[in-house]
Amino acid sequence: MKEDQEVSGGLSLKMWLRLLPYFGKLKKQTILATAIMLISTVVEAAYPLFTSFAVNNFVMPQSTEGLIPFAIVFFLAIVFVGVCVLFYAKQYMDVEMRMGLMLRRDCFVHLQKLPLSFHNVTSVGYLIGRVMSDTDRISGMVSWGFSHALFSIFYIAFCVVFMFILSPVLAVILVLIIPVAGVIAWLFQRKIVIVNRKVREVNSLITGAYNEGITGSKTSKTLVIEDLNRKEFEKLSDSMSKESVRTARLTAVMLPLVISLGSIALSIVLYRGGFLVHEQLLDFGILAAFITYAVSVIEPVVQIVGIISDMMTAQVGIERVTGIINEPIMVTDTPEVIEEYGDTFNPKRENWESIIGRVTFENVWFMYPDGDEYVLEDFTLDIPPGTTVAIVGETGAGKSTIVNLVCRFYEPTRGRVLIDGRDSRERSQLWLHCALGYVLQDPHLFSGTIMENIRYGRLDATDDEVIAAAKLVSADIVAERQPEGYATDVGEGGDKLSTGEKQLVSFARAILADPPFFILDEATSSIDTETELLIQDAVSHMLEGRTSFIIAHRLSTIARADIILVVEDGKIVERGTHADLIAADGHYSALYKAMRLEELSK
Please state the rounded mean pLDDT for residues 67-71. 92
Say which residue, 406 or 492, is predicted with more confidence.
406
User: Phi first, then psi: what are they for 490, rounded to 5°?
Assistant: -85, -10
Check pLDDT > 70 for residue 7. Answer: no
524 by Cβ neighbours in 10 Å (0-12 / 13-18 / 19+) ranks as buried
Q: Is the pLDDT of residue 223 over 80?
A: no
Task: Give the relative orientation of helices 284-296 and 298-325 as an angle to the nearest 10 degrees.
Answer: 30
**What percent of the chain has pLDDT above 70?**
88
Identify the three-state secondary structure at position 376.
strand
DSSP for 539-591, written as a single string: HHHHHTTSEEEEE---HHHHHT-SEEEEEETTEEEEEE-HHHHHHHTSHHHHH
Distances in Å between the alpha carbon of 271 and those of 266, 342, 352?
Answer: 9, 77, 86
Residue-wise pLDDT for 332-359, tens only, equals: 888 999 999 998 888 898 999 999 999 9
3-state secondary structure of 66: coil
Contact by Cβ (8 Å): 291, 270: yes
Range among 387-396, 428-437, 562-571, 587-596 with highest mean pLDDT value: 428-437
Least confidently predicted of 280-284, 293-297, 311-315, 432-436: 311-315
Please check the confidence at residue 209 and state whether its pLDDT lies above 80.
no
Q: At what angle do helices 27-45 and 47-54 cross, to 10 degrees?
A: 20
Q: Give 423's strand partners.
A: 418
The HSE-up count of residue 1 (CA atoms within 13 Å, CB side) is 10
**Residue 447 pLDDT greater than 80, yes or no:** yes
Terminal CA-CA length for the chain: 50
- Those residues whose C-beta lies under 8 Å from the C-beta of residue 257, and which sit 6 or more positions away, are 184, 188
Averaged pLDDT, 529-555: 71
**Contact between residue 343 and residue 333 where contact means Cβ atoms under 8 Å apart:** yes
Measure the CA–CA gap between 5 and 243, rounded to whole angstroms. 18
> Could you tell me the pLDDT band of residue 376, with boundaries at 50, 70 and 90?
confident
pLDDT at 317 over 90: no
DSSP 74-128: HHHHHHHHHHHHHHHHHHHHHHHHHHHHHHHHHHHHHHHHS-HHHHTTS-HHHHH
Residues 6+ apart with CB under 8 A from 84: 36, 37, 39, 40, 43
- Band (pLDDT 50/70/90 cuts) for residue 2 is very low
Distance CA 430, CA 341 (A): 9
Per-residue confidence (pLDDT) for residue 337, from 0 to 100? 92
- pLDDT over threshold 90, residue 514: no
Checking 307-310 for CB contacts under 8 A at 24+ apart, the result is 307/145, 307/148, 307/149, 307/152, 308/11, 308/149, 308/186, 308/189, 309/189, 309/190, 309/192, 309/193, 310/141, 310/145
| pLDDT surpassing 70 at residue 322 | yes
Residue 122 has phi, psi (to 5 degrees) of -120, 125
pLDDT above 50: residue 435:
yes
Share of the chain above pLDDT 90, in %: 21
Examine the pLDDT at 3 and tell me if it is beyond 70: no
pLDDT at 427: 92
Q: Return d(Cα 361, Cα 408) in angstroms, integer.
A: 12
C-alpha count within 13 angstroms, C-beta hemisphere, residue 465: 15
**596/585: higher pLDDT:** 585
Task: Answer with the residue of higher pLDDT: 340 or 196.
Answer: 340
Q: What is the mean pLDDT of residues 128-154?
A: 85
**What pLDDT, on the 0 to 100 scale, is given for residue 292?**
87
Q: Write down the mean pLDDT value for the chain.
A: 83
Separation in Å, CA 450 to CA 59, 434, 522:
80, 21, 22
pLDDT value of position 538? 58
Q: Do β-strands 359-366 and 414-419 pair in parallel, antiparallel, or remain unpaired?
A: antiparallel
Residues 383-412: pLDDT tens digits? 999 999 999 877 766 778 888 899 998 889
Average pLDDT, integer, range 480-500: 86
Q: Residues 52, 117: contact at Cβ < 8 Å?
A: no
Rounded average pLDDT over 562-588: 87
Average pLDDT over residues 286-297: 86
Would the pLDDT of 252 be above 80?
no
Q: What distance in Å separates the CA atoms of residue 527 and residue 498, rounded to the nearest whole number?
A: 10
Q: Which residue has the higher pLDDT, 594 or 151?
A: 151
Between 67-113 and 27-45, two packed helices, what is the crossing angle to 10 degrees? 150
The pLDDT value recorded for residue 63 is 83
Q: What is the pLDDT of residues 177-195, one digit of tens each?
A: 878 877 887 787 777 777 7
Cα–Cα dist 537/540, whole Å:
5
Q: Where are the alpha helices (DSSP H) in 428-522?
A: 429-433, 450-455, 463-472, 476-481, 499-512
Alpha helices in 326-407 (DSSP H): 335-341, 400-406
pLDDT: which is higher, 59 or 369: 59
